[in-house]
């Protein structure tokens, strides 16, 4: 390696790894960002032989999670010269050579580890952030992994496409993905919620264990426990409602948690969304019509929670049908939007019905809705935002309890014009229909869709109604505020 090049790598890597020169130093971590559920999973993953991959949208905290894992390793006694962090979003690293990963690893071995890999004495922990920015990363990483050296790799990428497509090409069976999404409402409330938030979260966790956990109880017993629990709900509902309203506006991107101005927060989210569209998706998929993709994002944000017609979208946006289908798949891969198919045991029925499309984060949706005639706080805005937020939470429950991908959640309709269920999810093998009725009162007629679904699906033990502020146990469903449903884990 040329001397000037080596000095440049020294400068960048030393800056990214301050613990090399000062073993007491630790990477910077936002003080106000509480630990997330995935922190524990990543701590366990560090002991596995496979490559740990953090995938998900931009700016959701993947780098922070890596830094926390580094802190945990250093605090547990791992030698400081056995931990390497390299962020390939840095131009110097990403474009350093035809094989930037090998160049960084060998530079680290020569200048920091100062011995052969097999003589390291203990595992070396290597964190490759934004790894997709390095040319040929997947094949290079496969080569290193297959050498069987005492190296434990953790990688991250801003789009599932960037990492998982690369993995399918070269890293099959060698990679364990972890999906990192924006903060859930429970995580958001632990930071921006009222002082009663921990008690509400603990209350929700007990009910979650009864319904989904390893020690889950029968439906009959759950009904009794839910009804009994309602007599002892914590105080502070108003504060939780206020926090939920803020979450519906801003969503769960960590970088805007402490931003006081809503306008600045939404502008920041718009910038994140634009980077995802123009830097990640357009670049990775070689999209020739980025403006068409941008118009699609704005339309889907405006129509979040609606059943969408690909034919109408294709005509309105001036994008051909096949290209439109590809664009929607790309947006799903970046976890900006998620399709909800019609739920049915028949594959033909599923394909015959149009899907709903939901924004995964309400804040990003609001950032792209600006100027499209939907005012935050209006009834229409509230209805769409709450339904998509409930959908995203049920998606999190499915993912947290065992899988990073797969079918669902869905919606359901009885016949072509019959009553509808807003969200249907399969959580820990339990089929749950969820109806969103964000109103002060839940009327008898609001239960028609749930009852029709339960009549046709014996495997569904009960339904859930997401209300504005009502707690109630009926013969058919557990009625709970949408904000409380969003605390279930």
**Per-residue pLDDT of the chain in tens (489 residues, 90 and over written 9):** 555 567 788 899 999 999 999 999 999 887 666 667 667 666 665 666 889 989 888 899 999 999 999 999 999 999 999 999 999 988 777 666 778 999 999 999 999 999 999 999 999 999 999 898 888 888 999 999 999 999 999 999 876 555 655 565 678 778 888 888 999 999 999 999 999 999 999 999 999 999 888 778 888 899 888 888 888 788 888 999 999 999 999 999 999 988 899 999 999 999 999 999 988 888 878 898 899 999 999 999 999 999 999 999 999 999 999 999 999 999 998 899 999 999 998 888 888 899 999 999 999 999 998 755 556 667 778 889 999 999 999 999 998 754 555 688 999 999 878 899 999 999 988 999 999 999 888 888 889 999 999 999 999 999 999 999 999 999 889 999 999 999 998
| Same domain assignment for residues 152 and 253 | no
Of the residues 155, 179, 203, which one is the last residue of a structural domain? 179
**Global pTM?**
0.90
Query: Helix-strand-coil percent breakdown of the chain, rounded to 5?
Result: 50, 15, 35
* pLDDT given for residue 94 in this prediction: 65
| Same domain assignment for residues 201 and 63 | no
Alpha helices in 251-378 (DSSP H): 262-275, 282-285, 290-302, 310-317, 321-333, 347-352, 362-369
From the list 73, 33, 64, 178, the residue with the least C-alpha distance to 129 is: 64
| Same domain assignment for residues 215 and 363 | yes
Would you call 351 exposed, middle or buried from its count of C-beta atoms within 10 A (0-12, 13-18, 19+)?
exposed
Which secondary-structure segment (H or E) carries 245?
helix 237-250
CB 452 within 8 A of CB 418: yes
CB 328 within 8 A of CB 398: no
* pLDDT given for residue 224 in this prediction: 87
| Same domain assignment for residues 171 and 199 | no
| Same domain assignment for residues 124 and 210 | no
| Same domain assignment for residues 222 and 149 | no
Of the residues 159, 179, 199, which one is the last residue of a structural domain? 179
The secondary structure of 55-105, three-state, reads ECCCCCCHHHHHHHHHHHHHHCCCCHHHEEEEECCCHHHHCCCCCHHHHHH
CB 130 within 8 A of CB 157: yes
Biggest CA–CA distance in the chain, Å, is: 77
Range of the domain at 203: 186-485
Of the residues 123, 148, 179, which one is the last residue of a structural domain? 179
| Same domain assignment for residues 215 and 357 | yes
| Same domain assignment for residues 151 and 205 | no
* pLDDT given for residue 34 in this prediction: 63
User: How is residue 130 written in tokens?
Assistant: 């934004």
* pLDDT given for residue 2 in this prediction: 58
What whole-number distance in Å separates Cα of residue 413 and Cα of residue 369? 27
| Same domain assignment for residues 137 and 258 | no
CB 335 within 8 A of CB 56: yes
* pLDDT given for residue 144 in this prediction: 96
* pLDDT given for residue 399 in this prediction: 84
* pLDDT given for residue 371 in this prediction: 54
| Same domain assignment for residues 131 and 253 | no
CB 62 within 8 A of CB 129: yes
| Same domain assignment for residues 315 and 376 | yes
* pLDDT given for residue 46 in this prediction: 63
b/e per residue 184-199 (b: at least 16 CB within 10 A): bbbbbbbbbbbebbee
**Domain CATH code at residue 98:** 3.40.50.300
How many domains in the chain?
2
| Same domain assignment for residues 438 and 477 | yes
* pLDDT given for residue 5 in this prediction: 62
End-to-end CA distance of the chain: 51
Q: Which residues pair with 178 in a beta bridge?
A: 54
């Amino acid at each position: 390696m040329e001397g000037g090049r080596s000095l440049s790598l020294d400068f960048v890597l030393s800056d990214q790894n301050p613990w090399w020169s000062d073993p007491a130093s630790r990477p910077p971590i936002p003080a106000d960002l509480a630990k997330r559920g995935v922190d524990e999973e990543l701590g366990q993953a560090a002991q596995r032989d496979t490559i740990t991959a953090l995938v998900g949208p931009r700016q959701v905290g993947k780098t922070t999670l890596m830094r926390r894992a580094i802190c945990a390793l250093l605090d547990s006694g791992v030698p400081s010269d056995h931990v390497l962090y390299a962020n390939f979003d840095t131009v110097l690293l990403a474009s350093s050579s035809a094989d930037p990963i090998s160049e960084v690893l060998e530079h680290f071995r020569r200048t920091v580890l100062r011995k052969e890999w097999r003589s390291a004495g203990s595992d070396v922990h290597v964190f490759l952030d934004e790894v997709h920015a390095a040319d040929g990363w997947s094949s290079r990483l496969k080569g290193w992994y297959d050498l069987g050296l005492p190296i434990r790799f953790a990688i991250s990428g801003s789009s599932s496409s960037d990492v998982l497509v690369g993995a399918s090409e070269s890293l099959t069976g060698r990679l364990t993905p972890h999906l990192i999404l924006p903060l859930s409402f429970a995580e958001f409330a632990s930071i921006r919620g009222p002082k009663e938030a921990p008690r509400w979260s603990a209350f929700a966790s007990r009910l979650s264990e009864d319904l989904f956990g390893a020690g889950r109880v029968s439906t009959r017993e759950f009904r009794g426990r839910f009804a009994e629990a309602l007599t002892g709900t914590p105080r502070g509902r108003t504060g939780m409602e206020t926090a939920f309203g803020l979450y519906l506006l801003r969503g769960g991107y960590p970088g805007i948690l402490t931003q006081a101005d809503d306008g600045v927060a939404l502008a920041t989210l718009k910038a994140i969304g634009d980077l995802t569209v123009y830097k990640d998706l357009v670049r990775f998929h070689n999209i020739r019509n980025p403006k068409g993709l941008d118009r699609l994002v704005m339309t889907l944000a405006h129509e979040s929670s609606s059943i969408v017609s690909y034919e109408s979208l294709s005509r309105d946006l001036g994008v051909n049908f096949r290209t439109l289908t590809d664009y929607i798949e790309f947006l799903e891969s970046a976890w900006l939007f998620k399709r909800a198919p019609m739920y049915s045991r028949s594959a033909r029925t599923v394909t015959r019905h149009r899907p709903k499309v939901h924004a995964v984060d309400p804040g990003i949706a609001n950032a792209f809705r600006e100027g499209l005639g939907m005012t935050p706080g209006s009834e229409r805005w509230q209805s769409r935002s709450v339904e998509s937020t409930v959908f995203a939470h049920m998606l999190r429950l499915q993912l947290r309890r065992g899988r990073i991908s797969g079918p669902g959640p869905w919606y359901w309709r009885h016949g072509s014009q019959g009553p509808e269920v807003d969200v249907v999810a399969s959580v820990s093998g339990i089929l749950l229909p969820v109806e969103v009725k964000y109103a002060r009162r839940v009327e008898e007629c609001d239960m028609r869709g749930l009852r029709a679904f339960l009549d046709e699906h014996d495997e569904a033990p009960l339904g859930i109604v997401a209300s504005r502020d009502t707690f109630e146990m009926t013969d058919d469903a557990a009625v709970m505020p949408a904000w409380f449903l969003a605390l279930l884990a």
